[in-house]
A and B are shown apart, each in its own frame.
Chain A
Amino acid sequence: MSDFSIIGKPTAMVDAAGKTTGAGKYTDDLSLPGMLVGKILHSPYPHARIQRIDTSRAEQLDGVVAVVIGKDAPTPYGILPVGHDEHALVTDKVRYVGDNVACVAAVDEATADKALELIDVEYEVLPAYFDPEDSMKAQSDFIHDNKPQNIEKDYHHVFGDTEKALAEAACVAEARFIANEVTHAAMEPHSTLAAFEIDSHTGKPGRLTVWSSTQVPYYLQHKLSLVLEMPMAQIRVIKPLVGGGFGGKSEVIPLEIIAAVAARKAQAPVKITYTREEVFWAHRGRPRTIIDLKTGADKDGHITAVKARVVQDGGGYCSYGVVTILYSGALLGALYDIPNIQYDGYRVLTNKPVCGAMRGHGTVNVRFAFESQLDELALKLKIDPAEIRRRNLLKPPCVTINGLRVQSYGLPECIDKVVERSGWRERKGKLPKGCGLGIACSHYVSGAANSIIRSDMPHSTVNIKIDRDGGVVVYTGASDIGQGSDTMVAQIASEVLGCSLGRVKVIAADTDLTPIDIGSYSSRVTFMNGNATLRAAQEVKKLLIAAAAKKMNCAAEDLVFRDDRVGKKHVAAGDSPAQDGRGRPSPHELSTDGQASVSGRVEGQILRGSLQQKRKDEGPKDAMTFEEAVVAAIDFHGALTGTGSYAPPQEARGGKHKGAGVGPSPAYSYSAQVAEVSVDEDTGEVTVHKVWAAHDCGRALNPVSVEGQIIGSVWMGMGQALTEEMVWKDGMLMNPGLLEYRSPSSVESPEVEPIIVESVDPEGPFGAKECSEGSLAATIPAISNAIYDAVGVRLHESPFTPERVLAALRAKKAEKKIDLTEGVDPTAPTRFREHGGSLWFRGKGPARHPLDPARREAPAGGDD
C-alpha cells in the first residue's frame, strides 16, 4: 500500500450529491428577478454580405426589450491572439449557415422567437466554399479578406532528411486517410446569464457578472473586457456546474458575449441558452481531416521516416485552428522514436460552422492514420503489431526530434498490460471468422507548456485559507466541468495537510474570488492546478508545522500530519481510518474515532473557549489534533494562508522552429489499447465487444475518476470510429440533433477494461499526469486494426459505418459494388446529386451564388 491517506483511494466527487439529487445548479438552472430571455437570429446563408438590417418591427413587438446587432459590439475577438476574426454578432458578412446576426431580449422565449421573425435582413450572396481542397483553390471572395486562398495557416516542418530515409527504407506504406467531422455533443447545451449592477458612486451601470457554462472563465473575462470595452476588474465570471465540455466550452462561444451585450442594452439580466441545433452550429469540434501519410521502416520494423500532408477543414473562423494544425504535426511523430519527420499542415477556412478544440485536440485524426499505417507496415514486414510498437519506443529521459521533452514514459508497460489482459498472444489470429483483435497506442499532453496568451504569468495559482474553525478553504480557478477537478484539488490539499477531506471546501472558478487559472483544456488541470494546490498547501502547512513543533517541543522534521492528527514520527501515526476500496465514505467524513473526535466541528466551538485555554496551559504533548495545530498556528502567526502557483519549466517549453510553441508539455500521458470486434460480412456492421485500455497517468490520484476518464475517452473514440459524423450537404448540417448525430447508447457500448499504469512523473503533483484525453486517440485505430484482423479490409475513412465497411468488403471480394464513399469526399457536391439531395434544382430553393460548387453543373434527377 502506498503511503498516502487520501490520494490513490477511490473517492466520490465532492459535488456528487448535488448531481444525483438535482440540487446542483447549472447555468440554465439559474434565474434572476427581471431576467429576460435572449434568442439569436442565425444566418440562412453560408456566405453573404449583410446589406441592411432593420430591427424596428421586432423592437415594436410587445414584450421585446432590446434588439442587438453587430454594431452594438463591433470589436473583434477570438480565442487566439492571432485569430481575432469573430464578432459577437457579425458586422459585415455571414460565413456559415447558423452564423450570428442579431439577438432579441424579451420577456419570454415565445416573444423572442416571434421577434426574430420580424427582423429584416438583406443579404448579398457570395460564392461559398464547403470542401477544403476546393476552398484552397479560391481566387476571389475569400472568406476572410486577409486570408488568401482561404488558408488560415500552413506550417511546413522538416526534421532530419525524410526523402532520403524514405528512399532507403526497406518498406514503405502510403495512403490517404480521411477522418470526418465530429463534435463534442456535451449533454448540457451552452448557457449564459449576464447581469449588470448599478455602481453606487456613478449611479450608472457598473460591474458585470456573467454565469456561464465555460471551461475557461479567465479567458471569458478577458474577451468580455475586450469586446465590451470594460476593465477586467469590472467583470466577474462565475462558472456554475458544467454539464460536460470536451473542448466545446474551451473558448469564448458567441452566446457568452452576446448575452452580456444584450444585458447592457436591455438594462436587465439576460439569459441565453442554446437549442441543441445552436450547439451544433456553435460547434468548435474536431475538423474533418485529410491525411496523406507515408511511413518508412527498416527490415526490423524500426520506423525511419514519416511524411504527412494534413488538411483540416476549419469552418468559417480561426478559433483554435492554428493550434490544432500544430498539435497534429507535433504529436504525430512524438509517441515513438522517429528520426525523420516531414509535416505539411494546412488549416483551411470553409463556409461551415467553426471547428476548434475537442478531446484529444489535434492528435486524434493523425493518430488514426499513423497507427493504421503502422499495422500495414507490420503486416508487410511480418512483425506482430504489438511487437512493432515495442521496437519503436522512445528511450527517456529524452527529447524527441521535434523538441518535446519526455521524462516519464509508461508506454512499454501499457503495451505489456493490454497484450497480457486481452490474451493477445494466444488469441490474435485465432478468433472465429469475422472476429478480430487490434492494437494501437496514443499519448497526450498534460497541459500546454506555453499558454495561448503569451506572458510569463503562472498558468495556475491557488490560495488556501485556514481559519480557527479548523476548516480549510481552497480557492482555485480550476474549472470543474465534470472531470472532477474540485475533488482533485480537495484531495491534494487534504493529503498535504493531513486533514480529512470533509474539512476542505473548494471555492472554484469565480474570477472575483479565485486566483487565475487559464482553464480546463489540454488536460492541464491536474498537472498544473494540482501542482499549484500542492504548493499552496505546503506553504500554509509550514505555519502549522512551526506552531506544532513549538507546542510539541520537537523538530519540524519529526512531525507527521495525517488523518486529522499531528504526531511525532516515532509515535504511531494513529490508526488509518480511511479504508480503501468502496467501503466509503470514510475519506469524506471528519474522523470520529477516539482522540481525533476532539477535532469535530462541534468540539471545535468549545476549543475556541475554555478548552483551548486549558490546552494552552498544558505542557508539551506527543500528539495534537489538526484543529489544535490550527489554533496554535493562528495564535503564533495570525491568519493562515498559503499561495502556490505553477508555471511550466523552461526546459519543457520546446524547440525554436516556427510553431514550436505548440506540442510541448511538462509531461505526456501514454495509452495502449486492444479492441476486440466482430464484423457482420453481409451488413458491414461492426460490433466492438471489449476494449482493454491501459493508460499511464503518472499516478492515479482518484482511481474512480481516472478509470471513468479512460472509459469515457475510449467510449467517445468508439463513437467517432463507428457512428458519429457531422453530415453536410452544401453547407447545411443534416444532423443537428442528438437523434441524428447518434452518440452511442448503452446497448452498443462495449465493456471497457481500464488499466491504470503509474509511471510517477518527476514533476507531476504526486507524480500525476493527464488521464482524460490521451486514451481517445488509440481507440479509433485499435478498432480499425481489429476490423482488418477480422475481415481483412483496411478502412481509410472514419467513421466505419456499415456501408463503408460493406463497400470495402465488396471491393475486396471483387463482388458487385455498392457505390459508396470509401476514399471519396462525401461532402463533394457531385456526390450528393448521385443520391439526389440537391438544394438547387432549376433555380428553386434558397438563393445561392451562381459560382457555388453545387450550382456549377445541372443536378441529376432522383431515383424516380
Chain B
Amino acid sequence: MSLPQFRLLRPRSVEEAVGYLATHASNIRVLAGGTDLIPSMRQKLFEPEYVLDVRRIAELQGIRPQRGVGVEIGVLTTLNAIEHSDFLRKHYPVLTEAAATVASPVLRNMGTIGGNICLDTRCLWYNQSLTWRKACGFCIKKNGDLCHVAPGGTKCWAVFSGDTPPALLCLNAEVEIASPSGARRLPLREFYTGIGDDYRKLQPNELLTRVFLPESSADYRGVYRKLRVRGSIDYPLAGVAVVVKRSDGHVSDARLALTAVNPAPVLVKGASAMLSGKTMTEELADKVGDLAARTAKPLTTSALTPEYRREMIRVFTRRAILAIANN
C-alpha cells in the first residue's frame, strides 16, 4: 500500500519547524519515528498536504539530568534509548519498564517518546484500510457519524494505547510545547481530553519538544504491567503503572495510572489516598484493584472482551502493588 501524496519538510531546528507549522497549520502532520503515523497514512486515516519530518532536529534528542530539578527528555529520544538509560532505570524505573514493553525492539529503535505521548487513539473500527472502513460505513473518528463501539452515542471511544504515558502520569511529568507564539509547559495530566477523536490538547501549529520529570518523583519504586496477547509487537489491551514511595514500612506517597482502557491514559483518582499511610497488604491491594477496575471503561475497541480487560486491570493493579510491597 502506498502513501497518499504530500510535500515533505525537513527542518533542522525547532524554530524552523515552528515556522513551517505556522505557515501550513491547516494541513500538516508532524512525523517523528513514524511508527504510528505511517501505518495510519497507509490506511488513508491522514492525508495531509505537508509532512514535517522532525527527525533531524538535534536539540530534541537526548536525556539530560538537571541537578536539583529532575530530568529533561527530548521528544525525539527513542524508546530504546529510554529503555536502556541507566539514569532513568535508577531513578524512574517505572518509565524504563513501560518503555521496554512497547511494540518490538525494532519498533523501539524508531518510535520516540514524543510520538508515544501523542499516539493516536485506536479502535478496531478505525485502524482499518479505506476499503474496510467504507464497507462498514465509517465512524465518528473518521469520515462518519456512527460509533460502532457504543451505538447511539455521539462520543468517540477510541482507546489511548500508549505504554509510557501512564508511567509518565505517575511521575508527574510535564511537557513543553512550542508554537509560533512561544513555548508553554503543561502537566501531562492536562494534555489529554478523554475524547477519542480529539484526544490531545495540541494545536495543529504546535510541536511537542520536551518532557520533564521532576526530581520530587525520583526514586519511587515503580512497576508497569501490560496485558497483551503475544510477548512482543502487540499494543497494550490494558496497562497499569504504579509508583510508590515508602518510609518506615508504609506508603508515604503513591500514584496509579491506567492505559488502553479509556480514550486517555488516566490517573486513578483516590488511589493515592487509599494507599498513603498504609502498609501494602493483600486486602489493600484488592481494594485498590477494585478502584482501578471501576475507573477503567474498556469497550470493544480492541481485541479480547471489555469485561476481561477490565478484570485484568483489577488483577494487574493488585499484582503490581504486591510486587512493590514484596520487593
Chains A and B in contact, CB within 8 Å = yes
Q: Which residues of A contact B (CB under 8 A)?
A: 42-45, 97, 109-110, 113, 275, 277, 682-684, 723, 727, 732, 734-736, 739-740, 742, 744-748, 801-803, 806, 818-821, 832-833, 835-839, 841-842, 844-846, 859, 861-864
Q: Could you list some 6 contacts between A and B, CB below 8 A?
A: A45-B135, A802-B308, A806-B311, A841-B152, A864-B155, A864-B299
Q: Bits for B232-243, please: 1 = Cβ < 8 Å to A, else 0.
A: 111100000000
Give the complex CA separation of A735 and B234 in angstroms.
Answer: 13
Q: Is the CB of B132 within 8 A of A862?
A: no
Cα A837 to Cα B232 with chains together (Å): 27
- Would B304 and A745 count as touching, CB distance under 8 A? no
Q: Is the CB of B135 within 8 A of A745?
A: no
A803 contacts which chain B residues (CB < 8 A)? 304-305, 307-308
Q: Residues of A contacting B136 with CB < 8 Å?
A: 732, 839, 845-846
From residue B127, how far is it (CB to closest CB) to chain A in Å?
A: 8
Interface check B182, CB cutoff 8 A? no
Q: Is B151 an interface residue (CB 8 A)?
A: yes
**With contacts A803-B308, A806-B308, A839-B137 known, is A734 near B124, CB below 8 A?**
yes
Q: Return chain A residues, CB-CB under 8 Å to B148.
A: 836-839, 845
B299 touches A745 (CB 8 A): no
A44, A45, A109, A723 pick with most chain B CB within 10 angstroms? A44
B153 at the interface (CB under 8 A from A): yes
Nearest-CB distance from B83 to chain A (Å)? 15
Q: What A residues does B297 contact at CB under 8 A?
A: 863-864
B135 touches A44 (CB 8 A): yes
Enumerate the 3 nearest inter-chain pairs by beta-carbon distance, A residue then B residue, closest first: A862-B150, A747-B231, A841-B151
Smallest CB-CB separation from A723: which chain B residue? B229
Contact present for A113 and B135 (CB under 8 Å):
no
A686 to chain B, nearest CB (A): 11
- Name B residues whose Cβ lies closer than 8 Å to a Cβ of A: 1-2, 5, 104, 124-125, 128-129, 131-132, 134-137, 145-153, 155, 157, 227, 229-235, 297, 299-300, 303-308, 311-312, 315, 319
Interface centre among A740, A803, A820, A863 (most CB of B within 10 A): A863
Please pick, from B2, B128, B149, B230, the residue contacting A748 in the complex, using a CB distance under 8 A: B230
CA of A275 to CA of B124, assembled, Å:
18
- Taking a contact as CB atoms under 8 Å apart, the answer to whether A745 and B232 are in contact is yes
Q: Across the two chains, which residue of chain B brings its CB closest to A732?
A: B136
Minimum Cβ distance to chain B for residue A227 (Å) = 25
Q: Is the CB of B305 within 8 A of A835?
A: yes
Query: Which of A723, A734, A745, A836 has a CB less than 8 Å from the CB of B151?
Result: A836
Q: Which residues of A contact B312 (CB under 8 A)?
A: 683
Q: A42-B131, A735-B303 are in contact. List 5 more A-B contacts (CB 8 A).
A: A739-B233, A742-B230, A745-B230, A838-B151, A842-B152
Question: Which residue of chain B is the closest to A806 with respect to CB atoms?
Answer: B308
B315 touches A801 (CB 8 A): no
State A736–B131 Cα separation when bound (angstroms): 12
A833 to B149, CA, bound (A): 9
Tell me which residues across on chain A come within 8 A of B149, comparing CB atoms: 836-837, 862
Q: Are B308 and A861 in contact (CB under 8 A)?
A: no
- Closest chain-B Cβ to A426's Cβ sits at a distance in Å of 30
Contact A820 B152 (CB under 8 A): no
> Bound state CA distance, A355 and B229, in angstroms?
25
- Please determine whether A740 and B124 come into contact, CB atoms closer than 8 angstroms: yes
- Chain B residues with CB under 8 Å of A110's CB are 2, 5
Report whether A275 and B129 are in contact in the complex, using a CB–CB cutoff of 8 Å: yes
Q: A818 near B311 (CB under 8 angstroms)? A: yes
CB distance from B288 to the nearest CB of A (A): 15
The distance in angstroms between the C-alpha atoms of A837 and B151, with both chains bound, is 7
Q: How far is the CA of A747 from the CA of B148 in the complex (A)?
A: 33
A859 x B151 contact (CB < 8 A): yes
Which of A44, A723, A806, A820 is close to B134, meaning CB atoms less than 8 Å apart?
A44
Chain B residue with minimal CB distance to A744?
A: B230
Judging by beta carbons under 8 Å apart, are A682 and B129 in contact? no
Residues of B within 8 A of A748 (CB): 230-231
CB-CB under 8 A from B150, the residues of chain A are 836, 861-864
Contact B153 A819 (CB under 8 A): no
- Which residues does chain A contribute within 8 Å of B319, judged by CB atoms? 682
Q: B308 and A863: CB pair below 8 A?
A: no
Least CB distance from B70 to A in Å reads 33
Complex: how many Å from CA A845 to CA B138?
7
Give the nearest-CB partner of A277 in chain B: B129
Known: A861-B152, A862-B157. A727 touches B308 (CB 8 A): no
Structural contact, B152 and A818, CB atoms closer than 8 A: no
Instruction: Tell me, rounded to whole Å, the shortest Cβ–Cβ distance linking A691 to chain B.
Output: 17
Scoring B147, B153, B300 by chain A CB atoms within 10 A of each residue's CB, the highest score goes to: B300
Bound complex: CA of A839 vs CA of B235, how far in Å?
25
Report how far A383 CA is from B303 CA in the complex, Å.
39
Q: Tell which of A740, A745, A746, A863 touches B303, judged by Cβ atoms closer than 8 Å.
A: A740
With a CB–CB cut-off of 8 A, which chain A residues contact B1? Answer: 109, 275
Instruction: Give A841 to B136 CA distance when docked, in angstroms.
Output: 12
Distance in angstroms from A732 CB to nearest chain B CB is: 5
Could you say which residues of chain A place their CB within 8 Å of the CB of B125? 837
Within the complex, the shortest CB–CB distance from B21 to chain A, in Å, comes to 27
Q: Knowing A745-B104, A859-B151 touch, does A836 contact B300 (C-beta < 8 A)?
A: yes
Contact pick for A802, options B5, B146, B234, B304, CB 8 Å:
B304
CA distance A838 to B147 in the complex (A): 9
Rounded to whole angstroms, the CA-CA distance of A803 and B319 in the bound complex is 18
A833 to B136, CA, bound (A): 15
User: In the assembly, what is the distance between CA of A703 and CA of B316, in Å?
Assistant: 44
